[in-house]
Structure 1
Amino acid sequence: MSSSDSYQPNDAVLALASKLFDLAREGETETLAAYLAAGAPADLTNQKGDSLIMLAAYHGHAATVRALLEHGGDPNRVNDRGQSPLAGAVFKGEEEVVRALLDGGANPDLGSPSARETAKMFGRAELFGRPN
């Protein structure tokens, strides 16, 4: 295999990645944490650049977000559209997820639009401790 060849994961690797994305989306914290403890990457991203944290955050699973952060997941990893997990949580109005991400070091000014801009657009500035 030359350096110009692209790595093509086999079916088992793709099935495991798909399972991890589903666990994040569904908030299956204990099962996902077991995979992370066994060595699954906390910053795994799908074909759109959505990380496990992005999927958990967008679907409102604060405990899953916290578990991913505890295993080294990056709260500031933006997807291919420049969206941050924090902006996704703000968009969805997921207060507990917003708090988990902020506690985990998420930058409210990262991404396009940023979480702070998203909060302003949707009248959710209180998510950052300020009234509208």
Structure 2
Amino acid sequence: MDDSLTHLLATTDQSDPTRCCFLLKVRPERLADYVEVHQRVWPEMREALSRCGWRRYSLFLDPDSGLVVGYFEADDTAAAIQAMGEEPVDGRWQAEMAQYFVQPDGGTPRLLPQYFHLV
């Protein structure tokens, strides 16, 4: 990334630690299965997300590219991500989801910086 853009994103007064947006990349031949499995997210996974402070969690999909955009809110998104990573069910869920993502790192969320928000 261009250094000047990196500096602008790092210093914007529009950033907010309570909102998080991230990208994932799903294998084109697995898109239907990936969407289907999300219609039945394990109850213990849903409970862990709530317990760790994830709110308004949504996933959006561009079916043409396999790009997934995730969004959630928390009192502190970094702490919520860390807490979720410590949940045993998250490890099992991530292992199950790995088959759907473009590898080597399509299943590693790429966090996007917020640079504008209209209230």
Normalised by the shorter chain, which TM-score bucket?
Answer: under 0.3
**TM-score (normalised: structure 1):** 0.22
Structure number with the higher strand fraction is: 2
- Please state which structure has a larger fraction of its residues in helix: 1
TM-score computed with the length of structure 2 as normaliser? 0.24
